[in-house]
Amino acid sequence: MQIKPERTLLSAEATLIASGTIGVIAILGLVTVLLANLWKDTTRDAERSASNLIRLIDADVRRTIELYDLALSGIIEAEKFKTIKDLSPEARHALIFSRVVATHYMGGLLRLNAAGDIIADSTSLEPRVGNFADRDYFQLHKADPDLGLLIGRPIKVRLSDQEWRIPITRRVSTADGRFDGVVMGAMRVSYFDHLFGKLDIGSQGSITLLKSDGTLLARRGLPGELDMVGRNGLDFPNFHRIINGYSKNFSGSSAYDHIRRIYSFAHVENLPLIVVVALSANEVYGGWIQAAIVVGGITFVLCLGVGAVVVLLLREFRQRRLTESALSELAVTDGLTGLCNRRHLEEVLRVECARSARNQQPLALLMIDVDHFKAFNDRHGHRIGDGVLVDLAVIIRALLKRPADVGARYGGEEFAVILPDTDLAGGLRVAEAIRARMAGRPPVGQDLRAGTVSIGVVSRILTPGYGVDDLVMDADKALYAAKGAGRNRVVPAADEADREDLISLSTE
């Protein structure tokens, strides 16, 4: 009965700890989900922004390439007119280059013969002198009649300022299919610098235009970045992922400048070109990081608050448990001797009697009385008398070795000892040990019999016809028999007193 309040408090503490833990886990879980969704939204926004930029670049590049292709096809078709040779040089030049749209970034268009020499030049009536038979695009068209429109590797032009240009070429064939040279346009790479420069990619983003074979045609990177036009993108690990096209979006660190970026790319429609937009991860997730810091700080404070409340309540519960434990201890303990009080003795006795009946094991009960205590107390005073009772309690505690053994103050100078699973012989041994130790105490003045005890002992296996009251009554009878026989002795219950192995013990 005394344990129930403590168990209730322990259960309340466990519930509080579990609730606090679940609460903190729930808060952390919600915040984690919130930040994870915000991260996904931020990533999707960045990919959507990059995709929009790619579409803009794709449309502009396709339109520009179409203009070149239109001009190149116009040259080839103009040469098919039978009367073109009869025209004046001015008229012939105007007809051949009739589809050329002059723009700031469009270089001159050239017509090369089968030997690679310039035979027509969009920039002047009299063609410039030059031979391009050694160029890759010339050799490729010469070898493959079905190559179609070819976007070549970036080159430094020989006829002007050594500026980077991208050759755009088509093969010219005779009526019978023999190689008859090449028509070529040269797009200034500065066109892409102008195009890319108008787009917002942040301070650490990059835009790259690649050929499908990995050749880098144009790039906008960090300010002061070395010129990378003409390099093979396959030298960089991220470009392998782009060329192979495993995913249209991925995150990786640049092997060139070591900046972590979110890469998005797409192939330009119907052209062997790839547009890559890479946005800096630091810039993309900058807002997310700030939000995460704020939310994380609030979450940390909130979790600390929950933890503080739990700690305070636990401290309150534990203080209450300690208080209730102390009160419970006081409720079952005799204030003078520290042994159990009579109320607790009766509770334990009922439990042990039931267990004895259930297990069919003997239960021993010792009833102890201090001899001539009232007269001794009157003669020497309450303080000395209380000292005798305390001494008896110390002796009883010292001799009870098992956890189930219980010593109690039954009332006044009367004490009791419960010994579960103990037969009468065992009970008599414990009783005699108590009696002998009390008798061996130093006398108080000339009072040689001060503090001796008389003890009655009974041991029974409880049955339905023999209960708690019967056990106590038999122990009391044995006690009175010990007192009647002269005190300072141990006497068993009357029905066992005649056994030879259970003779009364006395020091008199």
pLDDT tens column, 249-289 = 888 888 777 889 888 888 888 888 989 999 999 999 999 99
Amino acid identity of residue 31, one-letter, is V
382: domain CATH number is 3.30.70.270
In a domain, 445, yes or no: yes
* More confident of the two residues 506 and 216: 216
Q: How many C-alpha atoms does 306 have within 13 Å on its Cβ side?
A: 18
Structure tokens at 476: 């009391």
The band of 103, judged by pLDDT with boundaries at 50, 70 and 90, is low
pLDDT band at residue 4 using 50, 70 and 90 as cut-offs: low
pLDDT (0 to 100) of residue 474: 95
Q: Which domain holds residue 483?
A: 342-506
- DSSP assignment of 224-265, as one string? TPPP-TT-BGGGSHHHHHHHHTS-SEEEEE-TTT--EEEEEE
- What pLDDT, on the 0 to 100 scale, is given for residue 6? 56
Q: pLDDT grade, residue 87 (50/70/90)?
A: confident
Bridge partners of 273? 211
Report the pLDDT averaged over residues 13-36.
89
- Cα(161)–Cα(168) distance, integer angstroms: 19
Does 222 map to a domain?
Answer: no
Q: Is residue 375 part of a domain?
A: yes
Cα dihedral 174, 178, 181, 187 sign = positive
Q: Which is more confident, 170 or 326?
A: 170
pLDDT, tens digit (0-9, with 9 covering 90-100), for 303-324: 998 888 888 888 887 877 776 6
Q: Is 464 within a domain?
A: yes
- Assigned domain for 50 exists: no
Span 40-63, average pLDDT: 91
Residue 385: Cβ within 10 Å count: 21
pLDDT at 374 over 60: yes
Inform me whether the pLDDT recorded for 331 exceeds 70: no
Does the structure show a pLDDT above 60 at 501? no
DSSP state letter for 508:
-
The predicted structure's pLDDT at residue 339: 92
Longest dimension (CA), the chain: 163
In this structure, are strands 260-267 and 179-188 parallel, antiparallel, or unpaired? unpaired
Q: Which residues contact 13 (CB under 8 A, 6 or more apart)?
A: 314, 317, 318, 321
Residue scoring higher pLDDT (505 or 248): 248
Q: What is the average pLDDT value for the chain, to the nearest integer?
A: 85
pLDDT band at 325 (very low <50, low <70, confident <90, very high): low
* pLDDT for the residue 502: 45
- 179, pLDDT greater than 90: yes
Active-site residue list: 413
Residue 160's pLDDT band, with cuts at 50, 70 and 90, is low
Q: Taking 50 as the threshold, does the pLDDT of residue 505 lie above it?
A: no
Question: What distance in Å separates the CA atoms of residue 435 and residue 440, rounded to the nearest whole number?
Answer: 9
First to last CA, the chain: 44
pLDDT higher at 497 or 174:
174
CB 12 within 8 A of CB 317: yes
Highest average pLDDT, of 78-87, 146-155, 376-385, 454-463, comes from 454-463
Residue that is written with structure tokens 């344990």 in the block: 3
Say if residue 500's pLDDT is above 50. no
Question: Is the per-residue pLDDT at 508 higher than 50?
Answer: no
CA 19 to each of CA 29, 298, 299, 303: distance values in angstroms, whole numbers, following the listed order: 15, 20, 17, 13
pLDDT score at 472: 94
- In this structure, what token pair is assigned to residue 140? 């490729």
238 assigned to some structural domain: no
Query: Would you say residue 153 lies in a domain?
Result: no
Question: Does 3 have pLDDT greater than 50?
Answer: no
Position 445 pLDDT exceeds 60: no
Total tally of structural domains belonging to the chain: 1
Q: What is the pLDDT of residue 449?
A: 55
Q: Is the pLDDT of residue 10 over 90?
A: no
